[in-house]
Amino acid sequence: MGLLVGVIHNPKVSISTLTNYVMNGYVAHTGNKMLDTLFSKGGISSMLSSVALIILALALGGILIKFNIISVLINKMATFVTPQEG
Which pLDDT band, with edges at 50, 70 and 90, does 86 fall under? low
Same domain, 83 and 61: yes
Q: What's the chain's average pLDDT? A: 87
> Looking at residue 53, what is its pLDDT?
95
Number of structural domains in the chain: 2
10 and 38 housed in the same domain: yes
17-41 pLDDT, tens digit each: 888 888 888 888 889 999 888 888 7
Same domain, 70 and 84: yes
Same domain, residue pair 13 and 26? yes
The residues, any chain, with a CB within 8 Å of residue 65's CB and separated by 6 or more, are 71
Q: How far apart are CA 51 and CA 45, in angstroms?
A: 10
Query: What is the reported pTM?
Result: 0.52
Question: Do 53 and 33 fall within a single domain?
Answer: no
Distances (CA, A) of 55 to 46, 50, 59, 67, 85: 16, 9, 6, 18, 43
Domain that residue 59 falls in: 46-86
The single-letter DSSP state of residue 82 is S
pLDDT, one tens digit per residue, over 54-68 is 999 999 999 999 999
Query: Does 33 share its domain with 60?
Result: no
Residues 31 and 8 reside in one and the same domain: yes
